[in-house]
A and B are shown apart, each in its own frame.
Chain A
Amino acid sequence: MRSKPSAQSSGEHAPWWLKLGAVGALLFLHIPLALIFLYAFTTDESGYTFPPPGLTLKWIPRALANPDMQAALLLTVKVAAVATVAALILGTLAAAAVYRYDFFGKETVSFMLILPLALPGIVTGIAIRSAISLLDIPFSFWTIVIGHATFCVVVVYNNVLARFRRSSGSMVEASMDLGANSFQTFRYVIFPNIGTALLAGGILAFSLSFDEVIVTTFTAGLQQTLPIWIFSQMLKPRNRPITNVTAMLVVVITAIPILIAQRISARGSDSEGATK
């Protein structure tokens, strides 16, 4: 705690150039996202004219009705859902094993789980692509899911392991001591306590998968997930207004769950803090 000096009392004042730099960086981070929202309503169909010549709502229903977009969205949601379920199962199992038991190579397991997220996406992508080529596996829904689940596991793992470490270690023992077997203990004690961690981890995994484009490029073949569809629209713009609206849609779809997940994690640590 001592290393987190409270700011108001620190008496450190900010020189003007520091404030300017900070505000500048914030604007730099947020103006582009704001423009996404602006352009979703532009009347300009053939370019990115600024300021927009006019504003309209007409592209929103048209984008939502666009069959290509719909197909891509559906595929993306399906992939993300299945990958999230796989990540939840694998991540929770790994977290439970690492938390509950001491075994040789424990650190290696954590390291291996983080690797797909730590290495550049292209490495994971080309690696899986190599395996697909080597084994002559046809591209399919499942090749996408396998790639996504692999880098989503670590998100669930981290969330669940952190929750395990924060909750009282003797809780499981207490439950068994009171007559509950392992399955009852999981149902009545472990699950209620890691529930929010699973939810937060699951949401993060879902958005990670929903957004992914680099690994997907190598595992999708000719299938198009929503990010890949947007990418292809950027390479060869055919339908700018619809792409504009879709971009906004994606921001909204991913930002809201992330905000919820962050609130869940924050609340989890708050209530834990209160019991200490």
Chain B
Amino acid sequence: MFQRISTYLYLRPRLSLALLLLPPLVWFLVVYIGSLLSMLVNSFFYLDGFTGQVVRQFTLDTYAKLFIPTNVQILSRTLFMALAVTLGCIVLAFPLSYYMARIASPRMKTFLYLAVTLPLWSSYVVRVYSWKLILAQEGIISWFARLLHLDGVLNWYLSSPLLGGPSLGISLTGVFLVFVYIWLPYMILPIQTALERVPKSLIEASSDLGASPAQTFRNVILPLAFPGVVAGSIFTFSLTLGDFIVPSLFGNSSFFIGKAVLTYQGTSGNIPLAAAFTMGPIVIMIVYLLIARRLGAFDAL
């Protein structure tokens, strides 16, 4: 019986391929691609403000709503945050990546690799939660500031209108810090990979030719690490664009894309507007990926 089925299929490789490929393919086409399409479809519907029902009729009005000032502000605020988080991650990641790639002994390197990947794999919500503890008014940062008699500085900082807030736990600074913390491993690993590929001889050649360490760094190492930086920024950028957890927990009343999408689809049931909003990150990411490919980032992944 099995023998006969096996033989039947063996002699028909196209059929065997179809049998293997069909379940995953159907799943992805129906569930995933289908969902993406239905999102696209939904973004051309609109919400009847009077009945609160979605009207299934083609319109561009929903997209037009993206361009009212509040929503433009949300988009640009998110974009700006994603940019800031990416820069923060680069600055913080570089020394560790460099140390891992070029200085650490093989054993040290294994250890560091684990130390970087472990947070990456541990629970996202819990990692966010840990910052609730840290940034709270009565938390470790305030305690540390008091210890160093810097609480005055902290309060002065919090009183600044743009970055401050009632506490670090409810401020744009808080949102920024948590984002940097959450996505940092995504930046460290690609930069480390890129730096690892820089042949040692290149650095020696540079110092041979009379470059100071700073010059070598600027003229040799930095350009070679660049694809890694771009690769890492794909993650930090994309993940920040789409996140709603962190702004919901640490943000003040100002919205980000993710939070806006969540609110529109949830409380107000305005799925068309939520879908249209999501096109924002998708378009931004597609443009970003195209640029990144130009810059050779995909070799560093």
Contact = CB atoms under 8 A, between A and B. Distances in A.
Determine direct contact between A and B, CB below 8 Å: yes
A12 to B, nearest CB: 6
A120 interface: yes
A133 interface: yes
A4 to B, nearest CB: 6
A5 B200 contact: yes
A255 interface: yes
Nearest to B197: A3
Interface string A68-111: 00000000000000000000011101101100110100000100
Contact of B238 (A10, A119, A227, A243): A119
Interface string A17-45: 11111101110111011011001000000
Contacts of A149: 27
A32 B32 contact: no
Contacts of B74: none
Nearest to A183: B2
A17 B214 CA distance: 13
Nearest to B240: A120
Given A134-B38, A181-B7, A121 B242 contact: yes
Given A22-B96, A29-B116, A251-B122, A234 B21 contact: no
Nearest to B248: A235
A181 B123 contact: no
B28 A150 contact: yes
Nearest to B178: A32
A22 B99 contact: yes
Given A21-B94, A25-B188, A90 B203 contact: no
B159 interface: no
B136 interface: yes
Contacts of B265: 126, 129, 218
A123 interface: yes
A120 B32 contact: no
A250 B123 contact: yes
Contacts of B203: 12
A112 B116 contact: no
A2 B124 contact: no
Given A4-B196, A123-B278, A262-B114, A133 B239 contact: no
Interface residues of B, number: 101
B209 interface: no
Contact of A120 (B54, B99, B116, B238): B238
Contacts of A3: 196-197, 199
B118 A130 contact: no
Contacts of A36: 126, 129-130, 133
A188 B33 CA distance: 36
A10 B105 CA distance: 10
Nearest to B27: A90
B95 A49 contact: no
A256 to B, nearest CB: 10
A96 B22 CA distance: 12
Interface in B99-147: 99-100, 102-106, 108-109, 112, 114-119, 121-134, 136, 138-140, 142-143
A59 to B, nearest CB: 15
A210 B24 CA distance: 22
Determine which residue in A39, A96, A247 has the highest number of CB atoms from chain B within 10 A of its CB, and name it: A247
Interface of B: 2-3, 5-7, 9-10, 13, 16-17, 20-21, 23-25, 27-28, 31-36, 38-39, 41-42, 54, 92-96, 98-100, 102-106, 108-109, 112, 114-119, 121-134, 136, 138-140, 142-143, 181, 184-185, 188, 196-197, 199-200, 203, 213, 238-239, 241-245, 248-249, 257-258, 261-262, 265, 271, 274-275, 278, 281-282, 285
List the 8 closest A-B pairs by CB distance, nearest first: A120-B242, A21-B95, A32-B130, A181-B6, A127-B35, A122-B242, A97-B20, A48-B136
